[in-house]
Amino acid sequence: MSRHAPRPENILNRELSWLAFNERVLEEAEDPTVPLLERVKFLAITSSNWDEFFMVRVAGIWRQIDAGITQPGADGRTPRQMLEEVSRRIHDLAHRQHELFQYVIKPQMVREGLFILQAEDLDAEQLRFVREYFENNLLPLITPLAVDTGHPFPRLGNRALVLMAELEAEASPEEAFPVSELAVIPIPTPVSARFLRVPSAPGTHAFLMLEDVVRMHIAQIFHGYAIRNCHALRVTRDSDLPVEEDPNEDLMKAVEEHLRSRRRGAVVRLQYEQDLSPTLLAMLIDELELSPEDLYPSEGFAAFSDLMQLYAQLDLPHLKDAPMPPLPVPQLETAQSVFDAIGRHDILLMHPYQSFDDSVVRFVREAADDPKVLAIKMTLYRISTTSPIAAALERAAERGKQVAAIVELRARFDEEGNIAWARRLEKAGVHVVYGMIAYKTHGKACLVIRQEPEGIRRYCHLSTGNYNERTSRLYSDIGLFTARREFGEDLSNLFNVLTGYTRPPALHKLIMAPQYFRNALYARIDRERDHARAGHPARMVLKMNALVDPPMIQRLYEASQDGVQIDLLVRGTCCLRPGVPGLSDNIRAVSIIDRFLEHARVYHFHNNGEPETLLASGDLMQRNLDNRVEVAFPLVDPLVAAQVVEMLELQIHDTVKGRVLSQDGSVARRGLDPSWPPLRSQHRSYEHGLLTSGIKALTRKLPDLGDSDI
């Protein structure tokens, strides 16, 4: 069957679907049952998500408009129509966010003894503390920038907070410098926290925002001038400029040039205090080449993403989620060697419920230190600045082991950190490969080759998530340790493709994108369709971050029409319309937003009683299916696969954090009979030891949520 897309009316707009996802994040901040500081955290996440949305998606729409593109997209909207609708929706949500913070969150913080103060709120002791902090820590870092005929309007950094002041000379013309009516003061937030903790009464916590600290002392910056007014503002720039890749040039140099170009990206959003004078606003619109859709006034406070600093500074357990420390992996807990444990049987890892440090980090560290290990090969997509995994690879190379690292330099917004690690690893003697021209290496795989009495043996780790110990505590991902021969051979071939010029061979177990992933999924979907047409039970459960690819959506529609029961777990963007009569009657979609970000990709097929469960690094997006190096792999051990399937069932039936997606793109929490006990899948998975003790029967019957073969 040919790859074709659904009709435009059967596709939800990608940008609006993503905004619906971020609205679900905002709903967590609005939820009064969520602990107060967790609500603050969700406010920060909402804003951080919007920042990236503007830098990538809105910037992309503007590039289409500027290029004169008027052709409708997959959902029938032109770029201009899309921009207007997106702008209208974000303005509504931003207003809702400000109302929530100003009239709900802040008053509750005050009741808990948490104060975000204004200058007029400070007592004498606080004023003295703030003045000394400004003079000792901020004033030496501040560089005021005049704006006049001799001083062109400065470039405002992406997401950088600045003050804009209107000045008036107080001295006579003979005593003063030439009059400048305007000045820009960058706030040194990269080296100082946005929220300055100030002295307060015992049992309370008081903060002053850094821009207010500078604003209070601005006369010390502009001697001889009166300050008519002073306003905070922040710009967001296009940060998704393409890397100009040339097969004949060094990819690292191309990425470094890309980073320099990013700093010059067009402004796609201006956030400013709403009492900014019309004259200044008009000047900013002209200097930054802004349109009405780019303007986002606010009541005093902007850049809610910085609230994450406040969350981190406050050690108040009663205002945060109860701790869920990572559980040990039973097979590894008592094993003297991780290789002995993996050699006995496959080991499933579910993070952050199970410890990433005691499993994956331990695996790489032991490989680095074990004299029997001959070689380590690994993909690295997002590397933390203090990565223990990258440090172990460095140590392994220095000890004479053969180490190959595929460091993806084009991982968006992690380019600089990855470049730094690539250079450091090369210096240590690691064979560093930057990735394939035109294809990002997004697959997650590590291969350890060990000399044993019986001969060489391969040990594999494959995962849905990055080799990043920091995000492993926040993202929900699934990994697999295995020493199965076919997996080892496949990984050896995969790394040969990535480090050399060999063509991708036929693999035993692994499925590689871009060569095979799409067609492998098509084949499994069509197999379920065949079962349904033959009158057999047919079902799929597909879990992912995003479902965007039109041909894949069309294939799922056709499967639904053939009678296949399809459950989708889509955390973010979903362009498929579930539950449309005659189109997608047999498809339902659920999204879970909870304390951990759902990041795993799982593709489960009933297969007429012989189930197959795949884990993968890629979502159902064109970039993952066709334009990236991705790795999907089956769970061969039935006991291992059963753990993942049970997790899927818990999430499908989540009555606390699960939202049901409707055919119009709206999302609603489930309304169940109050006699049913609440089911919160992340907590159930942790509390019941489902993820550490193998197969465990559910203690309650699951509620009936409609016609489905569950």
Alpha helices in 468-590 (DSSP H): 485-499, 517-533, 550-561
Q: How far apart are CA 529 and CA 72, in angstroms?
A: 32
Annotated binding site: 49, 382, 412, 475, 571, 599
Q: How far apart are CA 448 and CA 378, in angstroms?
A: 9
175-191 burial, b at 16+ Cβ within 10 Å, e below that, comes to eeeeebbbbbbbbbbee
Do the bridges between strand 475-482 and strand 347-351 make them parallel or antiparallel, or are there none, so unpaired?
antiparallel
Beta bridge partners of 445: 462
* Environment class of 466 (CB within 10 Å of its CB; exposed 0-12, middle 13-18, buried 19+): buried
Identity of residue 348? L
Alpha helices in 31-161 (DSSP H): 36-53, 59-66, 79-100, 106-111, 124-133
> In the annotation, is 442 catalytic?
yes
- Give just the sign of the alpha carbon dihedral 97, 98, 102, 106: positive
Q: How far apart are CA 452 and CA 646, in angstroms?
A: 36
Helices 14-30 and 79-100: crossing angle in degrees, nearest 10, is 0
Q: How far apart are CA 637 and CA 639, in angstroms?
A: 6
Counting DSSP H helices and E strands in the chain, the numbers are: 21, 27
| Closest residue by Cα to residue 290 from 465, 396, 153, 138 | 153
Which structure tokens are listed for 551? 């041909």
Between the alpha carbon of residue 565 and those of residues 544, 697, 710, the distances in Å are 17, 23, 9
Do the bridges between strand 587-592 and strand 597-598 make them parallel or antiparallel, or are there none, so unpaired?
unpaired
Strand residues in 426-526 grouped as ranges (E): 431-433, 440-441, 444-452, 455-463, 475-482, 511-513
Given the residues 442, 461, 606, 683, the one annotated as active site:
442
Annotated binding site for Mg(2+): 382, 412
| Closest residue by Cα to residue 542 from 397, 678, 388, 645 | 645
Annotated binding site for ATP: 49, 475, 571, 599
Give the three-state DSSP class for 481. Answer: strand
Hey, which residues are catalytic here? 442
